[in-house]
Amino acid sequence: MSKWRNPKYLTEIDNVARYVEFVESSGKPNSVSYSGAVGLMGIKPSTAMGAGYDVSPLRPAELYDPVKNHNFGKEYLSGLLTKYKGNVPDALLAYSWGGTNVDKWIAGGRTGSIPADKQAYIDGWAGKGSHAKEYKKANAEGWKPYLERSRTPAKPDPEAAATLESLYSVGPSGQTKGAKEAVMREQNWQKANEFFDKP
């Protein structure tokens, strides 16, 4: 077994993955956030191509496959939970903010500031703030993760997948072609959702 698959976190990971899916996409497999995170588990293409923790990489277009997206996110969370010794807030913070940022924050005695949206992310898990309120309400109304609701998961939209793939394709120089972030940056996030987030 990989050192990043600690069996004692197997029960925890299901609950954590459920929360992440709700916060990242509300269970919409074609979701795209303002920062360019894609699919059920809100995974950025750059993360998909090299998350580490023995997680098999995905091509950007594969992020629209709900099964692959879910499995990748869950494996990535498993690695983070192992790295942070079962500390769910630290693992969630690393998932949302990046492990390098979290490691620096921990090394600094956990005294530095955390971006407000990242703080809200971990507060929600702790039962505080808007994420917690929305998650509690959704659960009370019977919300279920996408793969529990759909016996036949939707197939990736070929146009959206091809466009995402082209934004992150690598040219002969080894550089990513095009303005890969431009379509999905904050000022254009609504346009990105109109294009990508198809029913």
Catalytic residue numbers, as ranges: 24
Q: Is the distance from CB of 48 to CB of 72 less than 8 angstroms?
A: yes
Question: How many angstroms separate the CA atoms of 125 and 19, rounded?
Answer: 7
